[in-house]
Structure 1
Amino acid sequence: MNETAQNYWDHYWKGREKPPSVTAWQFGDDPDQLAKLVMKGIKTATCSAHIFYELDQEPLPTTQDYSVILNSQNEPVAIIKTVEVSTLPMNEVSEEFAAAEGEGDRSYEYWWNVHEAFFTSELKEVEREFSEDLLVVCERFELIDVK
């Protein structure tokens, strides 16, 4: 976590017991737009391809996770807490979850097309191919603070 994000995190918890861990990261292809949707309370969910947790040897998210959301300049803009995590094939993601991601017209079709393109591109970089039953990690989160 960069110093600015760490300072934001520390300032938010000043005088209260701080959770033991936090990460700082940007959302997908358009970090600024996606962060704005989070800050407006429109985006309350996100998903990622399970394979990248395996390849990066990273633990899966849990309901104990807090995150500092960064904009495209790596500046902190919000804090979220993960409240639900599930892993399932992409073609089993519900319309309601797709809408909770808050992107585009919030339709399942929009969600599918954007995520298929994103995952296809990301998987190609690691010499893997997209499939409709790609395992995805679906997270729901609550907005804790907006900077």
Structure 2
Amino acid sequence: MVNTAECASFWSDVRREVPDLPTAVPEAWAFGATPAHADELLALVLAGTKTATASSLGDYEEDGDPLPAAGDLSIILDGAGRPRAVLEVTSIQIVPFDQVGADHARAEGEGDRTLRSWRRIHEQFWGEHSARGFAPDMPVVCETFRVVFPAAHRNG
């Protein structure tokens, strides 16, 4: 669960260091489906290894959530729900799962960073955690991002 007061305080701290950011607190979320997975993927982001992510378009549709767009900001939470970084979406591309490319797979930073590994990891993830399950031709929202503010130095 997102602690809105903690996110607002975090955003205030970030804006002191990056004053050009908007005043409105952006959406806060964590990578993955478990606290351990959130921490693992956040570590890849903070290390600069993970600069992309992928989501099931069907999950956005099921939840009624808007799709991300270039320029969107997000507060990224760790597995305990604490704000740790701010990301900015740099690009969005929606492609069938079986057409996601090797460059995107590498940018996601998971496994051995190959397309084969990316497909195995995401097929399993969406098979277990997606509202609509997995299909080889399912639409995938491929998102690239940049870290606007890392918060690895903050104490939780």
TM-score, length-normalised on structure 1? Answer: 0.91
Q: How far off is 1:18 after superposition? A: 3.1
Structure 1: 4+ residue segments shifted above 2 A:
14-21
State the distance in 2 between where 1:6 and 1:79 align. 12
State whether residues 8 and 25 of structure 2, in contact with CA within 8 Å, keep that contact through their aligned partners in structure 1: no
Partner of 1:104, secondary structure, is coil
1:76 aligns with 2:80: no
- Which of 3, 14, 27 is matched with 1:12 structurally? 14
1:54 aligns with 2:58: no
State the distance in 2 between where 1:51 and 1:90 align. 12
> What letter is aligned with 2:143?
E
- Which of 141, 147, 156 is matched with 1:143 structurally? 147
State the distance in 1 between where 2:140 and 2:53 align. 10
State the Cα deviation string for residues 94-127 of structure 1 (Å, max 9, x = none): 001001000111111111101000001123xx4x
> What letter is aligned with 2:79?
S
Partner of 1:47, secondary structure, is strand
Partner of 2:86, secondary structure, is strand
Q: How many residues align?
A: 144
Q: In structure 1, list runs of 5 or more residues that go unmatched.
A: none
State whether residues 7 and 25 of structure 2, in contact with CA within 8 Å, keep that contact through their aligned partners in structure 1: no
Report what 1:37 is aligned to: 44
Report what 2:135 is aligned to: 131
- Which of 101, 106, 130 is matched with 1:99 structurally? 106
State whether residues 21 and 65 of structure 1, in contact with CA within 8 Å, keep that contact through their aligned partners in structure 2: no
State the distance in 2 between where 1:11 and 1:143 align. 16
